[in-house]
Structures are given as structure tokens and as C-alpha cells.
Amino acid sequence: MNKITTLTALLLAPLAALQAAVEPIPAFTTGARILFIGDSITDMNRGRSADPNHILGHGYVFLIAARQGAAFPELQLDFVNRGISGNTVLDLEKRWKQDMIDLKPDMLSVLIGVNDHTKKIPLDQYEQVYDKLIGEARAANPNLKLVLCAPFLKPTGQIDDKMEKRQEIVAKLAKKYGAAHVKLQPVMDEAAKRAPADYWVWDKVHPTYRGHQLMADEWEREVGAFFKADQKVTVK
């Protein structure tokens, strides 16, 4: 092995180690666009310009994009954040064409419901509008990969019945549309056994950076496992 070959091997070793440590997600094919949409938990103070330092915010979306993008640069994945603080499903409905349909994602990840809970959006309306939006997304792209994340609250040991019903609605829609279902409440509940709830969620609904890491880990775990098991649709 000559000096150039040895140097190249040394330079590539960290990347190889990173790739070995990160589980690839089968749905992440070359050039795939992964769109995240939702409320402040997704927004996380994202930039509204093309500045790459801030465009994804500083939450779970950023963590997923950073880890997957660094581990698999050859895929040239395109991560997009369209979370807006304070949004409910009714707000998503108003901007669905511009912020979802027109962006033509290969994978859509939705996390919405905590503001619907605090603003008391009726459960039937929440379900009807959410169902309509996912139906429109699938109609626009029959091959669209879907990820539905269940809303959650601070892990206090007891969750409001109406929030539980919203979580059940998300589970129902995930089953209806063949979507990966990311259940975040159990993750936070389990984490609260290891450290106080404030360590993971600083107010009633917003995760700390530690909570966002838990979210990113669970998202990658569930989405990777779901699409590994379901290879019927190929993202192009």
C-alpha cells in the first residue's frame, strides 16, 4: 500500500465508521426529498431564507437530517422543514398546497395535534381535516412514503383523555394510509423514569434538546423498521 492509498484510507475511515454506526433507511433513495411539516415542535425557529445554517431549525428535523446526511452523502438527500409555530390541522389545511403538494416530496412526515388539543379543536374535525390532507397528499403522489407522528405531552404519569384520543386518531390514519406510525408519548414516558420530566420537556409541550434527540432516535428507528418491512413501493 503506497502513501497516497494509506492517506486516503485514513481520511475515509471516520466516514466509514459513521456509516457503520447509522442504520440506513430503505426509503431514503438517491435524491429523495423528505418533508417535515407540523407546529412549533417541528419549526424549532427554522430560518425562512436559504441560509443552510438555519433552514432546518434546531430540533429533531435537524438531528435526523444531520445524521443521515453525514452518514450517506452519496444519496444527496434533500430535507425540508415546513413546521410553523402555533399551527393546528386547520392551519395546515390553508397552506397544504403551497407547503406540501407543490414541494413534491418523496416522503412526508407529519407531527400535528398539540395545538389542536390546547385550542380545543373538536376531535371529529381534527380527524376529518387530517384525513383529508393525507388523502390529498397520497392522491398527488401515489408512491408517497408517509410518516405520521403522534402528538404528545409532558410525561407526568397521566395524559389527558382527549390527547389520548388524538393519538388514537393518528394511529387510525397511519393504518388507513399505510404510514409509519411514530409513537412519541411512550418514549417520553419511559425517559421520565431515568430523569425528571423537565429534563426532556421544559414546559408542557416543547422538548429540550435532549427530548428532541429522543424524538430523532425514535423517528429513525420506527421509519427504518417500517420501510424495511414494507418494500412494495419504491421512491424515485
Q: Which of 51, 102, 124, 203 is catalytic?
A: 203
Taking the CA atoms of 194, 195, 196 and 201 in sequence, report the sign of the dihedral they define: negative
Q: To the nearest 5 percent, what fractions of the chain are helix, strand and coil? A: 55, 10, 35
Those residues whose C-beta lies under 8 Å from the C-beta of residue 10, and which sit 6 or more positions away, are none
Q: Which of 54, 99, 206, 217 is catalytic?
A: 206
Taking the CA atoms of 27, 31, 37 and 40 in sequence, report the sign of the dihedral they define: positive
**In whole angstroms, how far apart are CA 80 and each of 34, 38, 96, 123, 157?**
6, 12, 14, 29, 34
- Catalytic (active site) residue 49: no
- Catalytic (active site) residue 212: no
Q: Which of 39, 40, 43, 116 is catalytic?
A: 40
- Catalytic (active site) residue 206: yes
Strand order in the sheet with 33-38: 78-83, 33-38, 107-111, 145-149, 180-182
Active site residues: 40, 203, 206
